[in-house]
Amino acid sequence: MHITHDRCAIAEIHALVVKCRAMSKPRKPLSFAAYLRNLQETHSSSVNEFASALGIDPSHLSRAMGDKGQPFDFHRCLRLAKLTGRDPAEVLRHAGKGATADQIADLYGAPREPLTAPQQEVLSLLKEVEHMSDRDDLQRVVLTFLRIAAARKTVKRVVGTARTRQG
């Protein structure tokens, strides 16, 4: 009875080891079609809408997302990266263009972290300033920058006060 129980325990341990090994094996990377389907589902409510945003025919997008779909060319990959906010090198690698992705990484460095909402707001304001000539518009931008700076100081002051009270 005792031996049978030990054999069962050993069999269970062996099954767990096999399962862990299977889980730790590197996963096969997503095909371009699967990657494209994931992006479409994440960024758009329909294939037609996503195709329109990419500037391609919906039937072309559907074929690319199919089981035997062909990856996009270089320019469409870059358009896809821009539309979805993905790193261009990542998109190119999924499209089987690893050498090109490596060249981009060598030339331009590693991808940057996405901008926070306040950073995006500041960047959009800076882009607006380029085209402004009216004094009132420029004043509005300066006041917005000051509002953002004041909000940051308030947050830092509140966080600092909370930390002081805790300590």
pTM above 0.85, yes or no: no
Instruction: Give residue 1's pLDDT.
Output: 44
Block means of pLDDT (10 residues each) for the chain, 167 residues, are 53 60 60 92 90 94 89 94 89 93 86 74 73 74 77 65 59
> What are the residue boundaries of the structural domains of the chain, listed by start?
32-108, 117-166
- Exposed/middle/buried for residue 147 (C-beta within 10 Å: 0-12, 13-18, 19+): exposed
Instruction: Kindly report the CATH number that applies to the domain delimited by 32-108.
Output: 1.10.260.40
Rounded CA separation 110/94 (Å): 17
